[in-house]
Amino acid sequence: MQLDLRRVFTEEIKELPFSGTLDLSETEIAGSHPFVSPVSYHGTVKPFAGEAQVEAEVSFSFSIPCDRCAEMIHRDYRYHFSHGVVRTLNQEDNDDYIQAEDETIDVDELFRADILLELPTKFLCRPDCKGLCSQCGQNLNQGDCGCNKRRIDPRLEVLQQLIQSSESK
């Protein structure tokens, strides 16, 4: 959605409300398409000292496999974003403001970038997720698998066999 900010920059209006939905179903994260419903957003643009201030809230449902145990995680997210928008950028403003080309901004692209930057880098079903056994693949959150977790240096494996054979005598 393109927002025309001309009347905001000239302060003809005190507030420009907007709302809409954003389809991110084709967005791939970690090999899956986790956005199960369109992102819904609403907000306002207000004039502020010759600039514009965008305040918005986005909400969406998200479903992705846990990075440790591969169980599906279903979460609802809600984020609040705030951006300063200017007509032209100075060198020192590049990181602080968004430039409104032709006095318009594409809020869909803006919120898409905001959401992707705000999402966690690791998705866990719970903070203490134990993951999968590296030997048998058992989900360790559901119980211990009984595999021998003790690793022996392959160079010392012969010594381990000697110890076991002497214990069995």
Do the strands 97-99 and 104-106 form a parallel or antiparallel pair, or are they unpaired?
unpaired
Q: Which of 159, 160, 138 is nearest to 150 (CA)?
A: 160
Show pLDDT as tens, one digit a residue, over the chain (169 residues): 998 888 888 888 899 999 999 999 999 998 899 999 999 999 999 998 888 999 999 999 999 999 999 999 999 999 999 999 988 887 765 677 888 888 889 999 999 999 999 999 999 999 999 999 988 889 999 988 888 777 777 787 788 788 888 877 6
**From CA 86, how far away is CA 54, in angstroms rounded?**
11
Degrees to nearest 5, angle at CA 36 with 34 and 42: 105
